[in-house]
Structure 1
Amino acid sequence: MTLTLDQLLHALKGAGEETRLRILALFKSGELTVTEIVSVLRQSQPRISRHLRLLCEAGLLERHREGTWIFYRLSEGKEQSKLVKSILDFMPYDDQILQHDQERLSEVKRERDRKAAEYFNDNAANWDQIRSLYVPEQQVEEYLLKVTKDMQIEEMLDVGTGTGRMLELFSQNATSGVGIDLSREMLAIARSHLEQKSINHMQVRQGDMYDLALPDQAMDLVIFHQVLHFADDPLAAIKETARILRPNGRVVIVDFLPHKIEKLREEYAHRRLGFSKSEVQDWCSLTGLNLKSTEIMKGSELDIAIWVATKK
């Protein structure tokens, strides 16, 4: 399917203005909020909101509301996405204006990362306790073992490994495994934890969920255990996971269903307030995965879902 002439004209008109081109240039990596774009471009929020509305109407951006926050991202899964990616390919990022925008964007992201890192560092010692406040962790772990019991796991990856608990859980089922995390403090705890348990075939290292530094088709099992709600771009993380997954390998995602508890952003540095079943289904469709099952677990305040997807 291709764009109609009217759709093409509408999309090009949407992009054909300096501020809107500058906005599009910011989206080469991840989602952004209105506030973040305002901080970068240093224009009024009503003006930026108007430009974002026009870009969405042109099919070049998508918006997603979560509580009091609105996230914007490049269009995915339709013909306009090809057009906007082509525009980004031709973007003159060496232009002085765009360079300054990228520098300010880096500052915004560094501040965001600093706040998240402070939280992780402050809570490294009791991270497992924090993650189990909503649904009993034993219930989650029993289900994870159940949905993978038929697998022969030669290699597994735990994304955002934290204290290394998932590596310990699967240590009897996997030949070898690796856990990645950006926080050195969390990795230090994970290493100590695994050493105390004499789990020598599981390793941890510093790594980025968007760039796993692993070869294609390297893993049988990948786990995201309460990690994606911290991610700037969950879809990009799932796409990178699909790349390193072996045929018939599995991805297991444990995370919150949509909720409205804003304090998780304010106090716990959550980027997203959960994910809907349809959103996860879309991620799978866009990255060559087949969503096989969704398990809902009811918590006292928040509900958790466990999604299991396979490589097509």
Structure 2
Amino acid sequence: MCKAMEETLAQLRAAAEPTRLRLLALCARGALCVTDLCAALGQSQPRLSRHLKLLVEAGLLERMPEGSNVYFSLAARADLARAILARLPEDDPLLAADRRLAARLSAERVRAASDAFRDAGADWDEMRALGLPGAAIEAAVLAALPRRVGHLLDIGAGTGQLLELVADRCDAALGVDASRDMLALARGRLAERGLAPRCAVRQADMYRLPFPDGGFDAVTLQMVLHYAEDPAAALAEAARVLSPEGVLLVVDLAPHGRAELMERHAHRWPGFDDGQMAGWLGEAGCALSSPVEIPGPPDVNLNVRLWSAHRATAVQPA
């Protein structure tokens, strides 16, 4: 028996069970954690874990650890599962009840994350907090990206604002962030706008991305590098996962003299100049195009720079 036939039979066997079919239906709408899946289906974690293990081993679900929890989403190569789910009636009472409960649990998780940020006094919408021209920045980002993007990676995705902006241009868009609270807010935002699972988020370290070389057609870092201990290493890792014809887009602050931002917002860098960015990108094997500046309001005294780069040479893994 050929390998493809064996894989197909394994996937059919894995999907051919009521609980596992319900799990696939839920995870096809966006990543869910084990706790929420147990609550939505009303089953114990040990029992559900066995079903999830079978679905992962069959290549139908992807397992994504996130701190003490684990999230599951439909695997990119799970075309057979998508075909099976397409045959299920949207108004099936059991599946509809599962969806309603999962949506409520997700909303509660988003509210908890929002409360955590509010209680901590954190400004998670940094562009708004700094008084930067959001609409002009969004327009510049869209102008710098290709009209069609296959797979896009947004590093430091935060609440998923950039993913929402570029969703219509991408076959698939993935955001990564180190903060679980940010990821909870992003998942809620994407689900609320009907963008999951085409747009998804997961926890990851920007210095050690869990992706193969050259897997993304575009990589973005928006308002991320001024927090980085080592911007050069972050850009090198971003370039590693960029396809040979891909575009690397960096949006960040231009050099400024507002020293209070370093303390109040925990910035590590007071903006970046073109020479710094060209040097780091060059070391990462990327060639910098003409930067674009977006002026901030006069009373803010902050400008934003947009640096677009393309792969110039093959990037060797560190």
Normalising TM by the smaller chain, what interval? 0.5 to 0.7
How far 1:123 moved relative to its partner?
A: 5.2
Extract structure 1 runs of 4+ deviating beyond 6 A. 118-121
Q: Does 1:302 align with 2:296?
A: no
Gap change, CA 1:131 and 1:271, over 3 Å in 2: farther
CA distance in 1, matches of 2:169, 2:295: 27
2:310 counterpart letter in structure 1: T
CA distance in 1, matches of 2:160, 2:120: 17
Aligned residues of 1:121 and 1:185 also touching (Cα < 8 A): no
Q: Which residue of 2 is the match for residue 165 of structure 1?
A: 161
Gap change, CA 1:136 and 1:123, over 3 Å in 2: farther
How far 1:293 moved relative to its partner?
A: 2.1
How do 1:1-312 residues align onto structure 2 when only pairs under 5 Å count?
Answer: 122=120, 127-128=124-125, 130-131=127-128, 133-150=130-147, 152-200=148-196, 201-300=198-297, 301-312=301-312
**SS of residue paired to 2:142:** helix
Under a length normalisation based on structure 1, what TM-score does the superposition of the two structures give? 0.59
How far 1:192 moved relative to its partner?
A: 0.4
Aligned residues of 2:175 and 2:201 also touching (Cα < 8 A): yes
How far 1:137 moved relative to its partner?
A: 0.6
1:178 counterpart letter in structure 2: L
Q: Deviations over 1:42-98 (max 9, x none)?
A: xxxxxxxxxxxxxxxxxxxxxxxxxxxxxxxxxxxxxxxxxxxxxxxxxxxxxxxxx
**SS of residue paired to 1:170:** helix
CA distance in 1, matches of 2:228, 2:120: 19
Work out the percentage of aligned pairs sharing the same amino acid. Answer: 37
CA distance in 1, matches of 2:195, 2:117: 28
Aligned residues of 1:120 and 1:183 also touching (Cα < 8 A): no
CA distance in 2, matches of 1:255, 1:197: 26
Give the unaligned 5+ runs of structure 1.
Answer: 1-117
**SS of residue paired to 2:272:** coil
Gap change, CA 1:140 and 1:121, over 3 Å in 2: farther
* Corresponding pairs, count: 193
Aligned residues of 2:117 and 2:124 also touching (Cα < 8 A): no
Gap change, CA 1:131 and 1:277, over 3 Å in 2: farther
